[in-house]
Structure 1
Amino acid sequence: MKSLGSIRRSFAPWADPSAKPYIVFENITKRFGDFTAVNNLSLSIFEREFFALLGASGCGKSTLLRMLAGFEEPTSGRILLDGQDLRGIPPYKRPVNMMFQSYALFPHMTVEQNVAFGLKQDGMPKQEIDARVADMLKLVKLTQFAKRKPHQLSGGQRQRVALARSVAKRPKVLLLDEPLGALDKKLREETQFELMDLQQSLGLTFVVVTHDQEEAMTMADRIAILDKGEVMQVATPAEIYEAPVSQFVANFVGNVNMFEGKVKARNGEAATIVGGSGAEINVVNAGEAAAGKDVVFAIRPEKIKVSSKKPAGTNAMQGEIWDIAYLGDMTIFHVKLSDGQIVKAATMNSSRIAEDPLSWSDQAWISFEPNAGVVLSR
């Protein structure tokens, strides 16, 4: 079977039936009064995995993280860490550490004092503390800032101090709640790769909560998409993007075009879908959708080509250029089809000169390959 998308690393214990999960959420429900924040949720995370909980505000992702940290107890169900049931174990006795969005640094302490704080609380000998702090500051590239106070640092530097303090105690699991939310876009992008490198060099299990799709897609080995306290899909970033299991997931991650239709005919895995306007879409894999079944064909904008002339191939529809956005590296076209649907297409600007220039109100064709999208029944 061919892989979907690029492979960041060969690490994939979830694909090994004999591999034992490191963290297990087993039928977890969490209620706050009449409100159900997490609803009968089950989830497995493996050792040394960089795992992301992704969802909109109120979906239950932070509640899940807080239960793992020990700040909340499940209403029902249990959480296992390396085979141990965590119920009743207070936060300070759990082999996990949590890094908050606010960083929660002590303003009156220097950088090295902030990093050393938890080690002192544990009663570690001073010589060992000094060595550990030096290692941590070297790891996050802050050795020269050891004597500074938090207010003398940039947002990115404060973020790295909080990270060094979180990993100094060598927890088995590091929990990160919106860790990059306070950083500007450029610094956030740089820090994402720093976090990935740090996680792999330390060999720790990272569980990150975020509402930022790009952040989750960049950093995580796998992503759990949450909605209303339930898991919608758990998969690698490429699988989430290229093979969503539902319209909700397809819509939530990235941009997508949805063509509603009915399966006209099946030929093995392949099928023909007829839309409301009568346009036919041929696909190589219709999944379990039987002939006569209502389905949605989902396709990402970058999989669609736009041209002034009708292209050769099976899937082509004519429309009118409705909007154009030039973004430098790519151009976004909005094409209005005869049935009124507006299709979004993204074209990479691989050369400085447009080979097939199109403008507003021009007649144009959109086209795509039979394997470019996914058929969704729900």
Structure 2
Amino acid sequence: MKSLGNIRREFAPWNQPDAKPYIQFKNVTKRFGDFTAVNNLSLSIYEREFFALLGASGCGKSTLLRMLAGFEEPTSGQILLDGQDLRGIPPYRRPVNMMFQSYALFPHMTVEQNIGFGLKQDGMAKADIDTRVAEMLKLVKLSQFAKRKPHQLSGGQRQRVALARAVAKRPKVLLLDEPLGALDKKLREETQFELMDLQQTLGLTFVVVTHDQEEAMTMADRIAILDKGEVMQVATPAEVYEAPGSRFVADFVGNINMFEGKVAERDGAGATIASANGVTIRTANAGDAPAGTEVTFAIRPEKIKVSSKKPEGGDNVLEGEVYDIAYLGDMTIFHVQLGNGQVVKASSLNATRGTEDPLSWDDKAWISFRNDAGVVLTR
């Protein structure tokens, strides 16, 4: 079977029929008065998995995390950790730790005192605390800042102190609520890889809440996309991007073009789709949608080629006019308006400093794509 996207590692317990989930949400509902934040949700997370809860504000992702941490109790349903029902167990007795977006460091304490605070509260011997703190400082590369106060650190350094404090107690599960939200773009991108390396080194289960698609795609082994308290799809980053399960997921993750239409003709696995606005599309894989089915053909901008000359041969060649251009350095994004008025996004990688086929606003342009480049959605 051909894989979707690059393989990051062989770790994939969710594909093993005998693998037992480490964290389970079973028909969990959480209501706040008349508002339902989580609606009859079921979800399984495996040991040593880096799992992301992704969704817009108000979708229920932080509520799920808080219920797992013990700060909220489900209205109904069960939450299991390593087979144990967590209902009624207070936060401080759960083998989980939570890192908040604000970091919540004690301003009057040094870096090493912040990291060792939870260990001291647990009654650990001072010599053992010193050893563990030194180990954590080395792990997050902050040994030389041990005596500094939080206000003497950069945002990225404070983030690492909070992370070291969270893992110092060696929880079974680390919960991260928008952990990189306070960092600037470049530092956020660097820290994403640091978190991935740290998770691999420690061998812990990480559950991260984020509204940043790129962040979830970069760090997570699997992503659960939430909307209005319900799970819309759970899959690897490559599967979510290349094979979205619905129009909502396709539209939520990354940029995409959608052509509404009907399956006019089936040809084995392939089909001809007659778009509602006059465009005919050939696709190599129409799934199980029979002729006459209302479908959406979805295709990512990078799968579409733009040219000033009409390509020879091929099924999916459409004529239009350059409506807008965005130069982003590494790539250029074209908005091409078709004759029927629909605007299609296409992106082109700037592999060289110049271009052999320059296109400008209002130029005639042709877009084309392979018949296996898109996905047919029925819901």
* Correspondences of 1:215-234 after superposition (within 5 Å): 215-234=215-234
Secondary structure in structure 2 of the residue aligned to 1:47: coil
Give how far 1:7 is off. 1.3
Give how far 1:350 is off. 1.0
Give how far 1:125 is off. 0.9
Amino acid corresponding to residue 118 of structure 2 in structure 1: G
Tell whether the 8 Å contact from 2:269 to 2:284 is kept in structure 1 after alignment: yes
Amino acid corresponding to residue 337 of structure 1 in structure 2: L
Superposed CA deviations along residues 274-324 of structure 1, whole A, max 9, x for unmatched, are: 112432111111112110111110000000000112112111110011111
Superposed CA deviations along residues 321-374 of structure 1, whole A, max 9, x for unmatched, are: 111111111111000001100000000011122111111111111000011010
**Segment of structure 1 superposing worse, 306-315 or 256-265:** 306-315
Amino acid corresponding to residue 279 of structure 1 in structure 2: V
Amino acid corresponding to residue 331 of structure 1 in structure 2: T
**Segment of structure 1 superposing worse, 2-11 or 169-178:** 2-11
How high is the TM-score relative to the length of structure 2? Answer: 0.99
Question: d(CA) in 1 for partners of 2:93 and 2:354?
Answer: 62
The answer to whether structure 1 residue 242 and structure 2 residue 252 are counterparts is no
Question: d(CA) in 1 for partners of 2:132 and 2:69?
Answer: 23
Instruction: Give the count of matched residue pairs.
Output: 378
Give how far 1:181 is off. 0.4
Alignment match, 1:334: 335
Question: d(CA) in 1 for partners of 2:279 and 2:53?
Answer: 38
Amino acid corresponding to residue 333 of structure 2 in structure 1: I
Alignment match, 2:291: 291
* Correspondences of 1:207-218 after superposition (within 5 Å): 207-218=207-218
Tell whether the 8 Å contact from 2:52 to 2:224 is kept in structure 1 after alignment: yes
Superposed CA deviations along residues 82-104 of structure 1, whole A, max 9, x for unmatched, are: 00000000000000000000000
Alignment match, 1:166: 166
Give how far 1:267 is off. 1.4
The answer to whether structure 1 residue 256 and structure 2 residue 240 are counterparts is no
Amino acid corresponding to residue 350 of structure 1 in structure 2: A
Secondary structure in structure 1 of the residue aligned to 2:234: strand
Amino acid corresponding to residue 71 of structure 2 in structure 1: F
Question: d(CA) in 2 for partners of 1:187 and 1:318?
Answer: 42
The answer to whether structure 1 residue 111 and structure 2 residue 111 are counterparts is yes
Alignment match, 2:350: 349
Secondary structure in structure 2 of the residue aligned to 1:164: helix
% same residue: 82
Superposed CA deviations along residues 25-79 of structure 1, whole A, max 9, x for unmatched, are: 0000000000000000000000000000000000000000000000000000000
How high is the TM-score relative to the length of structure 1? Answer: 0.99
The answer to whether structure 1 residue 200 and structure 2 residue 229 are counterparts is no
Alignment match, 1:49: 49
Secondary structure in structure 2 of the residue aligned to 1:113: helix
Tell whether the 8 Å contact from 2:278 to 2:340 is kept in structure 1 after alignment: no
Secondary structure in structure 2 of the residue aligned to 1:313: coil
Amino acid corresponding to residue 364 of structure 1 in structure 2: A
The answer to whether structure 1 residue 120 and structure 2 residue 134 are counterparts is no
Question: d(CA) in 2 for partners of 1:231 and 1:104?
Answer: 30
Alignment match, 1:10: 10
Where do 4+ consecutive residues of structure 1 move more than 2 Å?
Answer: 276-279
Amino acid corresponding to residue 342 of structure 1 in structure 2: V
* Correspondences of 1:262-301 after superposition (within 5 Å): 262-301=262-301
Alignment match, 1:22: 22
Question: d(CA) in 2 for partners of 1:279 and 1:125?
Answer: 72
Amino acid corresponding to residue 319 of structure 2 in structure 1: Q
Alignment match, 2:64: 64
Give how far 1:184 is off. 0.5
Question: d(CA) in 2 for partners of 1:295 and 1:151?
Answer: 55
Alignment match, 1:372: 373
Amino acid corresponding to residue 98 of structure 1 in structure 2: M
Secondary structure in structure 1 of the residue aligned to 2:358: coil
Secondary structure in structure 1 of the residue aligned to 2:163: helix
Question: d(CA) in 2 for partners of 1:88 and 1:323?
Answer: 57
Secondary structure in structure 2 of the residue aligned to 1:192: helix
Amino acid corresponding to residue 267 of structure 1 in structure 2: D
Superposed CA deviations along residues 97-121 of structure 1, whole A, max 9, x for unmatched, are: 0000000000100000000000011
Amino acid corresponding to residue 145 of structure 1 in structure 2: F
Question: d(CA) in 1 for partners of 2:366 and 2:55?
Answer: 35
